[in-house]
Amino acid sequence: EDKVVQSPLSLVVHEGDTVTLNCSYEVTNFRSLLWYKQEKKAPTFLFMLTSSGIEKKSGRLSSILDKKELFSILNITATQTGDSAIYLCAVVWNNDMRFGAGTRLTVKP
């Protein structure tokens, strides 16, 4: 069965720490992997990854995909309290899309 698994499910860090969030998947006919940040209701788009080994960066956030080992990581450096949110990974294949359960990140001052 196709599935997307995120780890850890929750994480508590202090401001300034670096965090790594994981997303592994098992799907047929993989097309892309997306990362979203969900603070209240509407998830906001972070990255779309389609090729292995190419790092995408946006400020303190970066992400990379490994299509051989079927996983992606999202790194956040120098975390701030505003990074507190649920981070969702989603995998697209054919005309379907599946989200993981998310990682709840809490950044303490």
Partner 1 sequence: DAGVTQSPTHLIKTRGQQVTLRCSPISGHKSVSWYQQVLGQGPQFIFQYYEKEERGRGNFPDRFSARQFPNYSSELNVNALLLGDSALYLCASSFTQGFAEAFFGQGTRLTVV
Provide the b/e sequence for 16-29 (b: ≥16 CB within 10 Å).
eeebebebbbebee
Does residue 63 touch partner 1 according to CB under 8 A?
A: no
Nearest to partner 1 of 54, 78 (CB atom): 54
Residues 6+ apart with CB under 8 A from 41: none
Single out the segment in contact with partner 1 by CB under 8 A; choices: 12-20, 60-68, 76-84, 90-98: 90-98
Lookup: tokens for 40: 């209240």
Nearest to partner 1 of 65, 90 (CB atom): 90
Does residue 98 touch partner 1 according to CB under 8 A?
A: yes
Residues 8-37 that bind partner 1 (CB under 8 A): 31-32, 34, 36
